[in-house]
Amino acid sequence: MKKVYIDTMGCQMNKSDTERMLGMLSHFDYEETKIPEEADLLMVNTCSIRQLSEDKSFSAVGTWGKWKKELKKNIKIGFCGCVAQQKAEEIFKRAPYVDFVLGTHKIYALPEIIKRINNGEKVCECAETNKTEDDLAKNYEIERVKGVNAWIPITEGCNNFCTYCIVPYTRGRERSRQPELIIKEAKDALLSGYKEITLLGQNVDSYGKDFKDKNYRLAQLLRDLNALEGNFRIRFVTSYPTDITDELIKTAVESDKVCEYFHIPMQSGSTPVLKAMNRRYTREEYAKIVRKIRDMVPDVTITSDFIAGFPGETEEQFRETLTAIDEFELDYCNVAAYSPREKTVAAKWVDKFIPEDVKDERFQRLNKKIQENCLKSNKKYVGHEMEVLIENFYEHKGKMINTGKTRNFKTVHIESDMDLTGQFVNVKITEAKTWYLKGIQS
Ligand code: SF4
């Protein structure tokens, strides 16, 4: 067997692509290694959401290029993912030791690429396609990361063109995968022992909008998955606020396997900033959606994403983001300082860019607010009995700990000498920390 090392950066969609690529490579006698120095094939699966991730990808292949020149002439190097899709042939100019460039639209072309690079060719496969990977690569397996949760992409791409976001340029227009392929993938994952299915999409709740031949949306997919046999959980991320329908919320409530968890990026608490971002809702509309979910779904966790220092954002508008986190009782939020991305509309608004020190200061204040709210949200559960799906077992400061997630996506630590990984355990919550809960098995 030959060895392949893949350095995966960025979001869960990239991680899922890596699992698919490893599945394809297993047909060519490649097995995964976590040690880059022993690999015959080195690949980086890149993220272009921020400049920092892009720089990291070039730094990784730069190191491998040196190894290739000085130590191991036969290694092959692949540059894949979102930066590859965006820069295509340009990659060879900046990193001439790269053997192939593979964009997000073409990961199904990997087997053919391997044959070609082994014949000494340099290959760039980045043409856009409106097909999903399923259309062309039905027969390849998926080499899933070991664990309790199986990630299953249900849509690829995005049609929204938020003015800061590179995704529509790197992942293309939105395409939904066929329900029967998703359901088969879920069945296979459950048969292999996975206990949780997470449906993935840039806008998971717009699933099926592009089907011309049927009226089949996320709510129906959840119902069909919920009907599968076995004790398992279902989650779905990421939701676009205005695509969350009453039917979807109702289905989440009525389907016993669907968890009480919604991740709904708001991005800013200020309506004028949302408009500049080309987000298609106001602060009030977002509030209405969150309120509806809280009314309909008991003990629901709602998390969000925010950007600090979007071009033109005033101090007053930034404060509206802080008040939104409080007002909507958001349980946890991811935060990023604005990073201009080539090709996007906002990247051209140079005269409105916020100075780095101001952006950084807002970023810190947002993080502080999130810490406070996260602790507040966790404290609500002290004394409660909660079902925890155990994900990990490890030693920490001389004690053995099981960690897992509740249905509503709270992380729980339980001290226990027994490895409970993969089990559903009833836990009494005894203490709330900022980022997790502590509990005892009941
Ligand atoms: S909805 Fe906006 S932020 Fe999300 S992927 Fe699409 S363009 Fe990017």
Rounded to whole angstroms, the Cα distance separating 7 from 45 reads 6
pLDDT for the residue 133: 60
Please identify which residue in the block is written with the tokens 């080499």. 143
Rounded to whole angstroms, the Cα distance separating 205 from 263 reads 11
Answer yes or no: do 340 and 399 share one domain: no
pLDDT for the residue 137: 54
Q: Is 160 in the pocket of ligand 1 (CB under 6 A)?
A: yes
pLDDT for the residue 27: 82
Answer yes or no: do 190 and 314 share one domain: yes
Answer yes or no: do 269 and 152 share one domain: yes
Answer yes or no: do 27 and 143 share one domain: no
> Can you give the length of the chain in residues?
442
Q: Is 203 in the pocket of ligand 1 (CB under 6 A)?
A: yes
Rounded to whole angstroms, the Cα distance separating 423 from 103 reads 38
Q: Is 173 in the pocket of ligand 1 (CB under 6 A)?
A: no
Q: Is 49 in the pocket of ligand 1 (CB under 6 A)?
A: no
pLDDT for the residue 134: 61
Answer yes or no: do 281 and 364 share one domain: yes
Which structural domain, as residue segments, surrounds residue 402? 385-441
CATH no. for residue 39? 3.40.50.12160
**Boundary-marking domain end, from 379, 399, 423:** 379
Instruction: Express each pLDDT in 152-179 by its tens digit.
Output: 999 989 999 999 999 998 888 999 999 9
Helix (H, G, I), strand (E, B) or coil at 133: helix
**Boundary-marking domain end, from 125, 155, 174:** 125
Residue nearest to atom 4 of ligand 1 (CA): 202
pLDDT for the residue 138: 56
Q: Which of 12, 14, 160 to mutate to test the pocket of ligand 1 (most atoms within 8 A of CB)?
A: 160
pLDDT for the residue 384: 97
Q: Which residues pair with 102 in a beta bridge?
A: 80, 125
What Å distances lie between residue 1 and 29, 35, 169, 287, CA to CA? 5, 15, 37, 55
Answer yes or no: do 319 and 358 share one domain: yes
Residue nearest to atom 2 of ligand 1 (CA): 162
Answer yes or no: do 246 and 316 share one domain: yes
176: phi then psi, degrees, rounded to nearest 5: -95, 140
Q: Is 239 in the pocket of ligand 1 (CB under 6 A)?
A: no
Answer yes or no: do 291 and 319 share one domain: yes
432 alpha carbon to ligand 1 midpoint, in Å?
33
Answer yes or no: do 321 and 174 share one domain: yes
pLDDT for the residue 139: 56
CATH no. for residue 416? 2.40.50
Q: Is 77 in the pocket of ligand 1 (CB under 6 A)?
A: no
Answer yes or no: do 141 and 267 share one domain: yes
Answer yes or no: do 110 and 149 share one domain: no
**Boundary-marking domain end, from 125, 158, 193:** 125
State which residues of the chain have pLDDT below 70.
130-140
pLDDT for the residue 227: 98
pLDDT for the residue 28: 83
Considering its fold, how many domains does the chain have in total?
3
400: phi then psi, degrees, rounded to nearest 5: -95, 130
Answer yes or no: do 31 and 52 share one domain: yes
Mean pLDDT of the chain: 94
